[in-house]
Amino acid sequence: MLSSFGITVSTISLLLSLSLLYLSYYDLKLSNNKISKKIYKFAFSQILFIFLSFVTLIIAYIISDFSLINVYENSHTTKPLFYKISGTWGNHEGSLLLWINILVLFSFLFLILNKDKNKNFKLYTIIFQNLLISAFLIFLLTNSNPFSSLYPIPTEGTGLNPILQDPALAIHPPLLYIGFVGSSIYFSIALAALITKVESKSLALTIKPWVSVSWTFQTLGILVGSIWAYYELGWGGFWFWDPVENSSLMPWFLMTALLHSVLVLERRIGLYSWVIILSILTFTMSVVGTFLVRSGILNSVHTFANDPSRGLFILSFLALMVFSSIFIFFKYAPVENKNYKIFSKESFILINNWFMVFFLAVVLIGTLYPVFLDTLTGQKISVGPPYYNFILAPFLLPLLFLMTSGPRHKWISSNVIGIFNIALFTSIILFFVIFLSINEGGLLLLLILLFSVYLITQTTFDFYETFKNKNINLSRIISHFGFGLLILSISLNQIFSVEKSFNAKLGDEKNFQNYTIKFKNLETFSKNNFKSVKGHFEIIDKKNITSQNLTPEIRVYNQPETITYEASINTKLFSDTYLTMSNISNTDIFNIKFHMKPFMNFIWFSVLLISFGGILQFLRFEKRV
């Protein structure tokens, strides 16, 4: 019953999308200035039916309806209710349905929230958005149907991968999808603006809130995914340049560039074509990330790699979307001849934009190069932190300086502001305080520390100025402060981290640097759906004369059969003590990985600050409107 109903409402959603395409195209030919009420009615019906389809799938998971292949392959009767619901989008078909729901939601919100905009501009936006919706609905119904039925009906499901049964990962995909898929609306807006020749300020005001919302959710999604990988996968760090991690980071670079470029466009200082290009590229890169995750060409713990035909569809759609966008851009893009003063605020924004594009290129090459090498030569390699650190780290210096100095300059004006000020003087003093407590660290790392402290100090002084000047952009101050704190925390984490991997038997004791690790006990027990081997370790810090007990686990799940390695983490304000263990097959020897990770809480908190700046940017826009 749920299978038939789900397919029916999804098919109706597709028909409504096609109808909206026809009605919008027909309405373009009419000379009146108001959009037909039919379009509003069909748009409301569209979101109602696509939402019904998603609710139907959620209900199927809640009641464990194993007549649906999707539920059978990704759920189990013993799963907690929370993970049954989150399992809805923990797979390819369900996540694709969530993707389409967000596409439709943004389309509907654009239509009802922009009643005062030019009629043709709105209609073209709806047309482009529904072309995307229709394409993904056809993909869903023909290749990735979450409502496909199974007969005979099994009495039990195979279950969801245990490492995906986690609160952080339950909210991680929806956050990322609002960021990923949210970029679709300004992709559609950009193409519509080109065709209807929308002027710069109007385009900026239309696109700005959507960019702020998607950028904020994308940032939060990356943060939650990073925290999950830290404590669930046993990697022992905040970022490991995993290909799927990279696929979420690449659109973020472009969103960041776009968020800043819109500020220039809003003041009619130029960058019209550049904003259009970034809008197109952002959603394009989101689809590229989707292709990488769902095509089967990447090897990662959280890919949907089980059917290459899906990747072929997305690749074909991506190619069609890119070539169509290029055609529209070159046909309708205006000619711009803007010359910017070298020390004006818009010049600094443009330079920062190019840094974002450069970072994107580095990450894209690092992600795709192993794929192409494997395809062409059969040679398998992995591109990890050394590549990214070597290339990206030097460019953090000018980026940090521009983020510090740029906001202090004026629009259009080329007046040079003195480099030396009280903020820089204070930063140098603070840097020397940090430097005196550092026993190691190369010149580059020390310079990054200095410039991150400078950014933090300058934004702190800027925050003080908000009490005098109400026009100060508080969202910029908080986001830039958060970024400075992020780079500072990562740098200190890099300098002070302690890592050690060794083999040990029960009763062994390991001494290194200022630490002693005692393997004191092993405990085995059973739960509903897994068996556990828990190690009891004592970590003695001989320098600070402290000790702590950690209990990493090895879990063996039966639905489905999976082995996971659960890290034990003792979190304090300034550092985390982190321990994992894994068994060496058919022996009583365990591989132990010990990490002392300083400033992890500051890394997470700094990203929250960056995200909060995006929220303030949106609220500031709403207040001005």
Instruction: List, for residues 561-611, the tens digit of each pLDDT value.
Output: 788 888 999 999 999 999 999 887 778 899 999 999 999 999 999 999 999
3-state secondary structure 555-608: EEEECCEEEEEECEEEECCCEEEEEEEEECCCCCCEEEEEEEEECHHHHHHHHH
Select from 53, 43, 45 the least CA-distant residue to 108.
43
How many other CB atoms are there within 10 angstroms of residue 355's CB atom? 19
Which pLDDT belongs to residue 308?
67
Return left, alpha or beta for 453; rule: phi > 0 is left, psi -120 to 50 is alpha, else beta.
Answer: alpha
In this structure, what token pair is assigned to residue 281? 């590229």
Worst-scoring range by mean pLDDT, 3-17, 64-78, 228-242? 228-242
Helix (H) or strand (E) holding 538: strand 530-541
User: Which pLDDT tens digit goes with each residue over 530-561?
Assistant: 888 999 999 999 888 888 999 999 988 876 77
Select from 561, 570, 558, 565 the least CA-distant residue to 598.
570
Select from 146, 165, 139, 192 the least CA-distant residue to 54.
146
CA angle 395, 396, 397 (to 5 degrees): 90
- Checking if the pLDDT of 252 tops 70, the result is yes
- Checking if the pLDDT of 30 tops 80, the result is yes
Whole-angstrom Cα distance, residue 391 to residue 534? 41
- Checking if the pLDDT of 416 tops 60, the result is no
300 pLDDT band, cuts 50/70/90, is low
How many other CB atoms are there within 10 angstroms of residue 296's CB atom? 16
Helix (H) or strand (E) holding 129: helix 119-143
Select from 165, 3, 1, 185 the least CA-distant residue to 76.
165
b (16+ CB within 10 A) / e for 241-271: bbbbbbbbbbbbbbbbbbbbbbbbbbeebbb
Whole-angstrom Cα distance, residue 497 to residue 576? 10
Please give the average per-residue pLDDT across 384-392, as a whole number: 90
DSSP reduced 3-state for 197: coil
55 pLDDT band, cuts 50/70/90, is very high
In this structure, what token pair is assigned to residue 20? 């909206």
Select from 552, 439, 427 the least CA-distant residue to 492.
439
- Checking if the pLDDT of 304 tops 70, the result is no
Q: How far is CA 270 from CA 181, 203, 347, 411, in A?
A: 27, 12, 11, 12
Which pLDDT belongs to residue 565?
87
Please give the average per-residue pLDDT across 75-98, as a whole number: 88
Residues of the chain with pLDDT > 90, as a percent, come to 54
Antiparallel, parallel or unpaired: β 509-512 and 530-541 = unpaired
- Checking if the pLDDT of 344 tops 70, the result is yes
Which pLDDT belongs to residue 516?
92
Whole-angstrom Cα distance, residue 449 to residue 433? 12
User: Which pLDDT tens digit goes with each residue over 469-480?
Assistant: 666 778 889 999
pTM of the model: 0.92
Q: How far is CA 318 from CA 74, 134, 135, 517, in A?
A: 28, 14, 11, 52
Which pLDDT belongs to residue 76?
85
352 pLDDT band, cuts 50/70/90, is very high
Which pLDDT belongs to residue 302?
53
CA angle 451, 453, 456 (to 5 degrees): 110
Please give the average per-residue pLDDT across 365-382, as a whole number: 81
Select from 620, 624, 623 the least CA-distant residue to 212.
620
Please give the average per-residue pLDDT across 424-451, as a whole number: 82
Chain mean pLDDT for the chain: 87
- Checking if the pLDDT of 113 tops 50, the result is yes
Whole-angstrom Cα distance, residue 45 to residue 39? 10
Which pLDDT belongs to residue 434?
80
Select from 64, 226, 58, 74 the least CA-distant residue to 161.
74
Largest pairwise CA distance in the chain:
85
- Checking if the pLDDT of 189 tops 90, the result is yes
- Contact predicate 31/144, CB 8 Å: no
- Contact predicate 575/546, CB 8 Å: no
User: Which pLDDT tens digit goes with each residue over 114-153?
Assistant: 888 889 999 999 999 999 999 999 999 998 899 999 888 8
What lies within 8 Å, CB to CB, of 31 at 6+ separation is none
Which pLDDT belongs to residue 87?
87
Which pLDDT belongs to residue 625?
45
For the chain, what are the domain ranges? 1-164, 498-601
Select from 329, 318, 603 the least CA-distant residue to 482.
603
